[in-house]
Amino acid sequence: MTTLWGGAADPPCLLEALAEHRRSERVAVVDGERSLTYARLHGWVGEIAHLLVSRGVGPGDRVAVTGARGAEVVAAFLAVAAVGAAYVPLDASYPPRRLAHMLADSAASLVLSAGDAYVESAVPIPEPGAGREHPAVACAPDLPVYVIYTSGSTGWPKGVALPHSCVDNMAEWQRTHSPRPDLRTAQFAPLNFDVWFQEVLGTLGGGGTLLIVPEELRQDPFELLDWLVENRVERLFLPNVALNMLALAASAEESLAGVALVEVNTAGEQLLCTPAIRALFARLPGCRLTNHYGQSESAMVTSHVLTGPSSSWPALPPIGVPLPGTELLVDPVDPETPEVGELLVAGLPLALGYLNQEELNAARYTAVPTTPHGHGRVFRTGDLVRVERGVVQFLSRLDHDVKIRGYRVNPLEVDAWLLEQPGVAAAVCVVVETGDGARGLRAAVTPERGAELDVSALMGALEAVLPAHSVPQSVTVLPELPRTPSGKVDREAVAGGIASAL
């Protein structure tokens, strides 16, 4: 079995890292008109932490926080961590029934609310007052720090509990591998997405400034670009689709002289280097693009910095090499090719497991004979990868293996070629069940602003580069592609919409 090791790691506790800046008058968080220094934020977190203690919250408890992205939720999360409890984000944009399931499943001992309370028993997060020191609680590496809910096959989301050691490792890597630890960073990710923790902790642990992106700008790349310039944002985390839309918006600008970006990170879905993305980074020679890989169940696992001229970047870059404290194993699908198989993760990135899901935990978090680096438990990612010269390349999802007329097809390859075509802003290829029980490929695209797409030309372009079994039966032009709450393209919704129209 092929193995990779990221080297030993002993990350500091996130609470200790944050405490280093507790008296600083540097700006920690900017949320609209509100600006909080580190000293002010530290005092506010202390006030909320003492409120939690007065309500009987302590190590091992779970505290749900309902609200929208903003300074209140950041302070509440840090306060929950400070008392040794696990933070459970309840994004106010989710449907009430989904939130009710998450709240019941998490068995939260208390609910804090930012703004309108989701439940009657919720305790409002207090506004910052005179400030208080945090209660003295020692860091425990194996103690849960947050519970995040991810999509489940039953239709209801399943909760995953992440320990301090996992989050500490991710935040420490971000602090030490950025161009500077104190970058001005946009907070773009939704609350129930693990990248939110990377944005918050990687920034505040390094003495940087976290700038909350106004919600209305998250769906408007042109306004977002103006906001990035106005706020001198230096670091940005975006899913691939949002990055491509931002790159298309930037292509309409004569000059990018006001863009202060030095680091862009992408995660959550396969990075597709489109012509627009290559062109953006050609115009920003001082900015680097890093591809991150991980899951809700194992946080951040690998990273890959794209180097050289952006014009030479591959359409599907590698996901890279393991972080410190991370061991990767490849379980081969064919003994003749041991470098190709399902990716297994061991070490610091691993979650404690799913809440209330014993069978699923047994299937995904597997006990194994001791690995080469002393781990006895691995997470089966369900991702098919290939390792070449110590670098991991993502190939496909094993549970989304597509066989068309006996041929194995990777829909991401179709996505990549469609995104190479002029005027295409976003693209997705999906498998659709036809009426006769057969399966076929269908694609959907959205046009760039002001562009008109010729479907026959798109089909011709695909037929010129792909084998017949990889060419979709149709390409549908849509005004926009449906997204999941985390910003990824909702492939199931696309497939369902196309199927219903057949």
Q: How many C-beta atoms surround the C-beta of residue 269 within 10 A?
A: 17
Low-confidence ranges of the chain (pLDDT < 50): none
CA-to-CA distance for 319 and 77, rounded, in angstroms? 29
Q: Quote the tokens at residue 351.
A: 């979650």
Residues in the chain: 502
Q: In angstroms, how far is CA 176 from the centroid of its own chain?
A: 19
3-state DSSP of 70-132: CHHHHHHHHHHHHCCCEEEEEECCCCHHHHHHHHHHHCCCEEEECCCCCCCCCEECCCCCCCC
> Residue 233's pLDDT is what?
98
> Residue 500's pLDDT is what?
75
Q: Quote the tokens at residue 422.
A: 């002029």
Reduced to 3 states, what is the DSSP secondary structure of residue 17?
helix
- 288-295 and 263-266 beta bridge pairing: parallel
Reduced to 3 states, what is the DSSP secondary structure of residue 328?
strand
Give which of 350, 343, 323 is closest to 393, Cα–Cα: 343
Reduced to 3 states, what is the DSSP secondary structure of residue 420?
coil
Domain ranges in the chain are: 2-321, 327-398, 401-501
Domain covering 327-398: architecture: Roll (2.30)
Please list the alpha-helical segments (H only) found in 148-217: 164-177, 195-204
In one-letter notation, the amino acid at residue 51 is L
Can you point out the beta strands (E) in 279-332? 288-295, 299-305, 321-322, 326-332
CATH 3.40.1010.10 assigned to 401-501: no
**What is the enclosing helix (H) or strand (E) of 264?**
strand 263-266
The CATH code for residues 2-321 is 3.40.50.12780
Reduced to 3 states, what is the DSSP secondary structure of residue 21?
coil
